[in-house]
């Protein structure tokens, strides 16, 4: 077994993207409220609102389909290694 395996580091990327998506969601909510007041910046607010919505959806899909899935897959492999003593990934758990 060559490397130390730590499942938390794989989930950390997904957590960071999720935190950024949460910020984008609330920014989009604020922009939605700002779009109700008529002013000169209304077209800019509308474009920013569309951009935050598209970015939120894209990042959420990337997180769910790639980052989180990769972390879960690695975690399942590690659990099978621990349960059955089969060397699948050549990684070793901390404290073993």
3-state DSSP assignment of residue 92: strand
Q: For the chain, which residues make up each domain, given as ranges?
A: 3-85
d(CA 94, CA 96): 6
- State the DSSP H helix or E strand holding residue 93, giving kind and residue range, or none if neither: strand 91-93
Model confidence pLDDT, tens digit, residues 15-40: 999 999 999 999 999 999 988 888 88
Is 5 strand, coil or helix?
A: strand
Whole-number Å distance between alpha carbons of 20 and 14? 10
Lowest mean pLDDT among 30-34, 39-43, 69-73, 84-88: 84-88
For residue 7, what are the contacts with CB-CB under 8 A and spacing of at least 6? 71, 74, 75, 78
Separation of CA 38 from chain center: 35
pTM summary value? 0.74
Q: How far apart are the first and last CA of the chain?
A: 10
pLDDT tops 70 at residue 4: no
Q: What is the pLDDT of residue 3?
A: 52
Report CA 68 to chain centroid distance, whole Å. Answer: 7
């Amino acid at each position: 077994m060559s490397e130390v395996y730590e499942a938390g580091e794989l989930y950390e990327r997904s957590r960071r993207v999720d935190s950024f998506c949460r910020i984008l969601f609330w920014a989009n909510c604020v922009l939605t409220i700002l779009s109700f007041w008529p002013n000169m910046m209304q077209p800019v607010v509308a474009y920013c609102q569309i951009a935050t919505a598209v970015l939120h959806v894209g990042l959420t899909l990337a997180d769910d389909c790639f980052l989180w899935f990769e972390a879960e897959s690695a975690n399942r492999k590690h659990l099978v290694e621990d349960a059955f003593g089969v060397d699948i990934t050549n990684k070793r758990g901390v404290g073993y």
